Amino acid sequence: MIRIALDAMGGDKAPQETVAGAIEAAQTGVQVLLVGDQAALGPLADGSGLEIVHASEVIDMHEDPARAIREKKDASVSIAARLVADGSADGFVSAGSTGAALAAAAFVVGRLEGVGRPAIASVFPAIAGGVVVIDVGANIEVKPENLAQFAVMGAAVATTYLGKTAPRVALLNVGEEETKGRDLEKAAFGLLTKGPTNFVGNVEGRDIAAHVADVIVTDGFTGNILLKTAEGAARFTGAALASELLADDVLLDVRSHLTAAITRLTERLDPEYYGGAHLVGSKGVVVIAHGSSSRVAIANALEMAAEGARQGLVQRVVDGLQG
Amino acid sequence: MIRIALDAMGGDKAPQETVAGAIEAAQTGVQVLLVGDQAALGPLADGSGLEIVHASEVIDMHEDPARAIREKKDASVSIAARLVADGSADGFVSAGSTGAALAAAAFVVGRLEGVGRPAIASVFPAIAGGVVVIDVGANIEVKPENLAQFAVMGAAVATTYLGKTAPRVALLNVGEEETKGRDLEKAAFGLLTKGPTNFVGNVEGRDIAAHVADVIVTDGFTGNILLKTAEGAARFTGAALASELLADDVLLDVRSHLTAAITRLTERLDPEYYGGAHLVGSKGVVVIAHGSSSRVAIANALEMAAEGARQGLVQRVVDGLQG
């Protein structure tokens, strides 16, 4: 059975929502190890049968991540990572400081041999299924060869979560022609053309939702801007449409139906619902959930991590990089 | 009376839609000079009273822009720019090759003294009014001092189009703290803090629609990704919501009302409706419309250019840079 360690102290709504999410995930067959303060977690997990691994420290959002991981060996995220490193867990999930989770993955779990830079892959909703965007924030500045590796890593994620056998990989750029973009994109285009993935060329920001590729490769600065812009625009459009709909007297009569439809959509598009982001290039499965994660988001992130472990995501990355 | 030169041959739907847009704009009091092939434009403009300035050449989307502007002195966009340079027009609008319009602005109209890099400012729809994003594509790579100038230029646009007297200026980044971002953002943050604008700090992609600032400053690569991602996400959300709504049997009965509400929203969010983008830092008013512009988009871009000229946008930029 797949076992996932959860940093139960990480996140704005921890530990109430992290424990509740773990209980939900456990019902779907994921074995969750709750890592955190025994006194805080015990009562919340009472009767759930979930195993608690005590952690006496917590890393908060304002600490320097690398330093915190070095100094706080007993922080919940450090111990969650250690459970992965020593084989007690198949992966870990944290909704705490992203920097701390990245540092724990780097220093405790370790980087796969041959990986220049681990990167964060996020699965976006798109017209048909989802699109993997990599990197959405781990590496603010990268080299062309990093982008070439992100392609391989992103393809492994697309195979794992979207069931694609030869995922279409594209480079995020400001135009389709290979002469477009910064020196970074021009050089990466050449490497991607020669690389092992099914490279389909450059795509623009508007192509993401239209699903012209399964994997979109970019640096962590641009990817982060893209991720958050898409979130903001989706939320704005939903709100604007709701106000348009409710401005119509006829539609006011069916208000409850409209509200229900908008809620269904919001859930579909909300990052909480489509799960956490994967740190790829690490020796274990690492899923980073939103800081604001509710129990639903935590349960989804745990299931995502379990699915990654079940399908051998890490081995897929290794195979991809060797291929 | 304000006179705006229109590159009537530029755009996917030229000259039919460009001429039709000019006729619409003329009805709202803008004096439009139609620049293009007399034989093609004459019949379309017949009876409209619009003046045609003959241009014997056209620059197409696939030509090298700088070279085309140097070699085709009689291209419609070159002549439109020349009308601005010699004072016959107060500004020009083109829906043709963006590169050619930028080159015409640079080589024919000329750059304002002291401006390192002219930039493209786009007015995005937001919760309350609009937000100016600058640069959305003129400069793929920039220096911190360019971003500092973009702040001043963007503030002039916000004053002109959004009626803001001390527009809030923010730097697009991956987090709020001043230590976030690439070397570019870190250095720009310092310059912006010392600069003449009302700098409110860093904002993230999701903050744009939420309207936490009136002007958002970034490089042309990131800005272009942001602009297109927002467009794609808005369109995707609208389509997804429409399908949610029409999946409900009760709502099916009010289908025509739903469709009307969605159409109103689409119009509100469509870049065609909220106008073209401004090239700022040029000695004249230059508005770049979408290549796919319909008559409505062309009319809006012409009115936008006229408003820029009427309010002295160029002088505002000069004053801002000296201030």
Question: Which CATH number covers residue B17?
Answer: 3.40.718.10
Given this model, what pLDDT does residue A261 score? 82
Structural domains in chain B (count)? 2
Q: For B241, name the nearest residue in chain A, comparing CA atoms only.
A: A265
Cβ–Cβ under 8 Å, residues A292 and A305: no
- Residue A50 has phi, psi (to 5 degrees) of -75, 140
Residue A122: inside a domain: yes
Domain containing A304 equals 1-115+281-312
Mean pLDDT, residues A101-112: 96
Q: pTM score, two decimals? A: 0.92
Same domain? B265 vs B287: no
Residue A136 covered by a domain = yes
| Residue A111 shares a structural domain with residue A124 | no
C-alpha to C-alpha distance for B293 and B265, rounded to whole angstroms: 18
**The one-letter amino acid at A160:** T
Alpha-helix runs per DSSP H in chain B: 16-27, 38-45, 65-71, 76-85, 98-104, 144-162, 183-194, 207-210, 220-245, 249-252, 255-269, 295-310, 313-322
* Cα distance between residue A313 and residue B205, in whole Å: 30
pLDDT in tens, chain B (323 residues): 899 999 999 999 999 999 999 999 999 999 999 999 999 999 999 999 999 999 999 999 889 999 999 999 999 999 999 999 999 999 999 999 999 999 999 999 999 999 999 999 998 877 667 899 999 999 999 999 999 999 999 999 999 999 999 999 999 999 999 999 999 999 999 999 999 999 999 999 888 878 899 999 999 999 999 999 988 888 888 888 888 887 888 888 888 888 888 777 777 766 656 568 999 999 999 999 988 899 999 999 999 999 999 999 999 999 999 87
Separation between Cα atoms, residue A130 and residue A316, nearest integer Å = 19
Q: Is residue A321 part of a domain?
A: no
- CA angle centred on A170, ends A164 and A175, rounded to 5°: 150
Residues A125-156 as b or e (16 or more Cβ within 10 Å = b):
bbeeebbbbbbbbbbbebbbebbbbbbbbbbb
Cα→Cα distances B175→A97, A225, B203, B235, Å: 13, 10, 7, 26
Q: Is residue B320 part of a domain?
A: no
What is the model's pLDDT at position A170?
Answer: 98
Instruction: Clarify whether residues A49 and A95 are in a common domain.
Output: yes
Question: In this structure, are B140 and B228 located in the same domain?
Answer: yes
Is B81 in the same domain as B27?
yes
Chosen for mutation from B224, B235, B236 (greatest number of chain A CBs closer than 10 Å) is B236
Query: Do A184 and A85 reside in the same domain of the chain?
Result: no
Same domain, A123 and A233: yes
Nearest to A292 by CA among A58, A8, A17: A17
For residue A22, tell me if it sits in a domain.
yes
Tokens of A253: 């009569």
CA atoms within 13 A on the CB side of B298: 33
Encoded tokens for A238? 């939903």
Instruction: Examine the domain organization and report whether B161 and B237 are in the same domain.
Output: yes
For residue A149, the distance in angstroms to the closest alpha carbon of chain B comes to: 21
- A299, A273 in Cβ contact below 8 A? no
Same domain, residue pair A181 and A306? no
Has residue A272 got a pLDDT over 60? no
Evaluate the omega torsion of the peptide bond into residue A135 and state whether it is cis, within 30 degrees of 0.
Answer: yes
A85 Cα to chain B: minimum distance (Å): 30
| Rounded distance between C-alpha atoms, residue B48 and residue A10, angstroms | 67
Average pLDDT, chain A: 92
CB contacts of A240 in chain B (<8 Å) are 265, 268-269
Q: Is A320 among the domain residues?
A: no
Contact status of A268 with chain B (Cβ, < 8 Å): yes
Mean pLDDT calculated for residue range A46-63: 94
A275 has a pLDDT exceeding 70: no
pLDDT band for position A274 (cuts 50, 70, 90): low
Please indicate, yes or no, if residue B321 is contained in any of the structural domains: no
Contact call for residues B159 and B153 (beta carbons, < 8 A): no
**Interface TM-score (ipTM) > 0.95:** no
Site from B225, B246, B265 to mutate, A interface, most A CB atoms within 10 angstroms:
B225
Other Cβ atoms within 10 Å of B260 Cβ, number: 16
Q: Residues B89, B196: one domain?
A: no
Which of A236, A267, A292 to substitute to test the interface with B, most B CBs within 10 Å? A236
CB contact under 8 A, A207 and B232: yes
A and B: number of Cβ contacts within 8 A:
186
Distances (CA, A) of A293 to A52, A191, A268: 20, 37, 15
The pLDDT, as a whole number, for residue A271 is: 60
- DSSP character at residue A207: H
Regarding whether A292 and A176 lie in a shared domain, the answer is: no
Q: Per the domain annotation, does A7 fall within a domain?
A: yes
Distance in angstroms (rounded) separating the CA atoms of residues B229 and A168: 19
**Which of A183, A220, A264 comes nearest B244 by C-beta?**
A264
Chain A residue whose CA is closest to B125? A236
Residues 202-231 of A with CB under 8 A from B: 204-210, 218, 220-222, 224-231
Confidence grade of residue A167 (pLDDT, cut at 50, 70, 90): very high
- Tell whether B106 and B233 lie within a shared domain: no
